[in-house]
Amino acid sequence: AQSVAQPEDQVNVAEGNPLTVKCTYSVSGNPYLFWYVQYPNRGLQFLLKYITGDNLVKGSYGFEAEFNKSQTSFHLKKPSALVSDSALYFCAVRDKRGSTLGRLYFGRGTQLTVWP
């Protein structure tokens, strides 16, 4: 079963506008949630994570994400997009069930394009 879903393959936004990249998860309880970014021909870079505590987490490059337990979502947001934010974004979840304690499940990715 899919543990994490990114419903949009692509998101397009104008520079200066707010952006949202959506992520929902399907594991039980309160999972650990992560966002990564991948630039062309580069490895994945960590942006932010939710482990416990405040539902709103802030990360690198002005990004933030909000953990919403009732909607099982962890959407990535930024108040004002930059052209340099254009990249592939991955949501990931770490399950707390015993047999897969270390495994990180990734979504399929969302291509963000910010035009000038």
Partner 1 sequence: GAGVSQTPSNKVTEKGKYVELRCDPISGHTALYWYRQSLGQGPEFLIYFQGTGAADDSGLPNDRFFAVRPEGSVSTLKIQRTERGDSAVYLCASSLTRRLAGGPNTGELFFGEGSRLTVL
Residues near partner 1 (CB under 8 A) are: 32, 34, 36, 41-46, 49, 51-52, 90, 94-96, 99-109
User: What are the structure tokens assigned to 62, written together?
Assistant: 């002005």
Q: How distant, in Å, are the alpha carbons of 18, 30, 62, 79, 102 from that of 99?
A: 39, 16, 35, 38, 9
> Cβ closer to partner 1: 52 or 116?
52
> Cβ closer to partner 1: 17 or 97?
97
Least Å distance between CB 14 and partner 1?
25
Give the H or E element holding residue 58.
strand 56-58
Least Å distance between CB 51 and partner 1?
5
Question: What's CA 35's distance to the chain center, in Å?
Answer: 4
CA 31, CA 93: separation in Å to the nearest integer? 6
> Cβ closer to partner 1: 70 or 99?
99
Least Å distance between CB 34 and partner 1?
6
